[in-house]
Amino acid sequence: MDGILNIHKATGMTSHDVVARVRKIVKQRRVGHAGTLDPAASGVLPICIGQGTRVAEYLSESGKAYQAEIIFGTVTDTYDTEGEVIRTSDWSQLTLPQIEQAVQSFLGPQLQLPPRFSAIKIKGQPAYKLARAGTEVVLEARPITISNITISDWQAPRLSLEVECSKGTYIRSLAYDLGERVGTGAHLGGLVRTRSGPFVLEKSSSLEELAEAMEKGELEKLLFPSDFALPSAQEVRLDQATTEKVLHGNSFEAASVKGQSSNDLARVYDPAGVFLAIAQWDPEKQAWQPKKVLAGETK
């Protein structure tokens, strides 16, 4: 059983909780998630099974999209509803044009300071554990990119946003930073991840639906093939002789497909259409070098 499940995580569960539930439902130990989702958030959480775990890193690196609710006038220590209130202020004079101007300033590449209550490791310990223990937590700002940010609703003091961003973006930090930018403070009131890489909310399944599919012997209806994780990678089909080279980890040429600086990964298939490997273009050798050789699925 190999592939990726597009799970709709419910609020109140950690990403590890979901992995444990999936492991129990599908009766397989080799299960992992691609891209952590906070317990207070819901939405798309790709779960990799079997050989699908080999492509988890590519999903974790992919872009994300969210629906976020931001509440102005109150700041919490966690930047969301889970934390303690540390500051309040009057938001009654805040206007939509002010917010629109502030929101647009967050577009594009930037440095973002993660929340102290986050899973980022500091000397091997998650920052949130240190923060809860009263230890001073100092995090460094990290480069992120917000490619699109749109206001979908404004019912003061609540703002609804649609956000598309790079990996590593904390929407909790965006909520906090936006509140500081307009001068009232703010925290994240709710969050739904609507996309993670190629996986979208509309095609996600709950854990209950997964359990039902498993009971009916219809799990394959919910299981995406592992190569679905690399939709922008080039597709390379091999003959049998070249397939043998790849199985031994050797570089190979594919005359019809050349690497490009913007797209230097390839999904490699054997003559029968089986997903064989992930390869990277080596400009010095002018050849493809297998990065991961998989026991794949038929395309």
Q: Annotated catalytic sites, by residue?
A: 38
CA distances from 9 to 42, 156, 194 (A): 5, 28, 11
Q: 267, 235 in Cβ contact below 8 A?
A: yes
**What is the Cα–Cα distance from 126 to 286, expressed in whole angstroms?**
42
How remote is the C-alpha of 130 from its chain's centroid? 24
Q: What is the DSSP letter of 14?
A: -
Q: 130, 206 in Cβ contact below 8 A?
A: no
**What is the Cα–Cα distance from 14 to 33, expressed in whole angstroms?**
11
**What is the Cα–Cα distance from 227 to 237, expressed in whole angstroms?**
14
Sign of CA dihedral 269, 270, 275, 279: negative
Q: 173, 181 in Cβ contact below 8 A?
A: no
What 3-state class would DSSP assign to 236? Answer: strand
What 3-state class would DSSP assign to 258? Answer: coil
Looking at the DSSP bridge assignments, the partners of residue 9 are 43
**What is the Cα–Cα distance from 68 to 159, expressed in whole angstroms?**
8
Count CA atoms closer than 13 A to 190's CA, side-chain side.
Answer: 12
Sign of CA dihedral 241, 246, 250, 254: positive
Structure tokens at 93: 């004079």
Q: 54, 25 in Cβ contact below 8 A?
A: no
